Amino acid sequence: MRVGIIGTGLIGSSIGLGCRERGDTVVGFDRDTSTLRFAVACGAIDDTATRNEIYGTCEAVVIALPLDATIEEVRSLAQCAFRPEQFVIDVASVKSPIEEAGRDIEVFVPTHPMAGSEKSGPTGARGDLFERRWWCYVSTRDELRTQATRAFIDRLGAYPCAVDAREHDRIVALTSHLPQLVAYAFKGCVDSLVTSVDGRVVSALCGPVAQELLRIAQSPRGMWDPIFSANAAAIEDALVRLQREIDDRRFSG
């Protein structure tokens, strides 16, 4: 299979590595030429290509861009001509606006792999990143391309999981987006504490959960802010539920 990657950051490069390890030819495009060069150097892609070359020659195309850029790229698919055997997927973590952008584009299937890292860029990519992880997809009217998407996910070692776009966003608001927001807030609290307490003592007294929160707080905030904005209502609902649970379990003096 010839696979095209639009966006060679962590997720795009990890998909490229996984595909190449399975014998696929992978070409990539990224507006950041330094990121693209790293993707080649790291072995995530065989070669670079233009967007038009990718859409014109690849059986499978993965859009692995930040949320806002993904929406723009999906909309642009309406101007492209595709062959029956081609399919295009995205990997953004909010699905409702993506589904809306690609509603009338038969070649497109929205997806979201439940895998990631606090690292960024192709240097942090791993070919096994998706193995034994759930990978959601939104079924479309084009059953053949939906099935091709399932097969692509399965081939990378992940577990395909059909979801409704709005239900997906409601759930990940609680299970993914809110924890990331809490991690940023927790790191802010720790940073404030370190201004008055020896940082080595604070680090020594961080338990496993605290360490995990500090780890994921290293994820680039610029990538997450558009996600928080796009799924704000669902995240607010999740935050209210969390606050209610905390209030119900608060110790009485």
Per-residue pLDDT tens digits for 25-66: 999 999 999 999 999 999 999 999 999 999 999 999 999 999
- CA–chain centroid gap for 126, Å, is 14
Query: What is the bridge-based pairing of β-strands 25-29 and 2-6?
Result: parallel
- Segment (H or E) for 193: helix 178-194
Tokens 């195309």 label which residue?
61
pLDDT score, position 120: 83
Which residue, among 136, 148, 126, 97, has the nearest Cα to 14 in the 3D structure? Answer: 126
pLDDT score, position 53: 97
Between CA 68 and CA 60 the distance in angstroms is 22
Q: How many alpha carbons lie under 13 Å from residue 248 in its C-beta half-sphere?
A: 6
Between CA 71 and CA 33 the distance in angstroms is 21
The full set of domains in the chain, from first to last, is 2-163 (3.40.50.720), 167-248 (1.10.3660.10)
- Segment (H or E) for 159: strand 159-162
Residue 69's alpha-carbon distances to 6, 92, 112, 115, 151, in angstroms, are 11, 10, 15, 20, 26
pLDDT score, position 253: 52
pLDDT < 70 stretches in the chain: 251-253
Between CA 64 and CA 11 the distance in angstroms is 7
Position 15, amino acid: I
Beta strands in 44-96 (DSSP E): 47-48, 60-63, 87-90
User: In a 10 Å sphere around its CB, with 0-12 CB exposed, 13-18 middle and 19+ buried, how is residue 237 labelled?
Assistant: middle
pLDDT score, position 248: 85
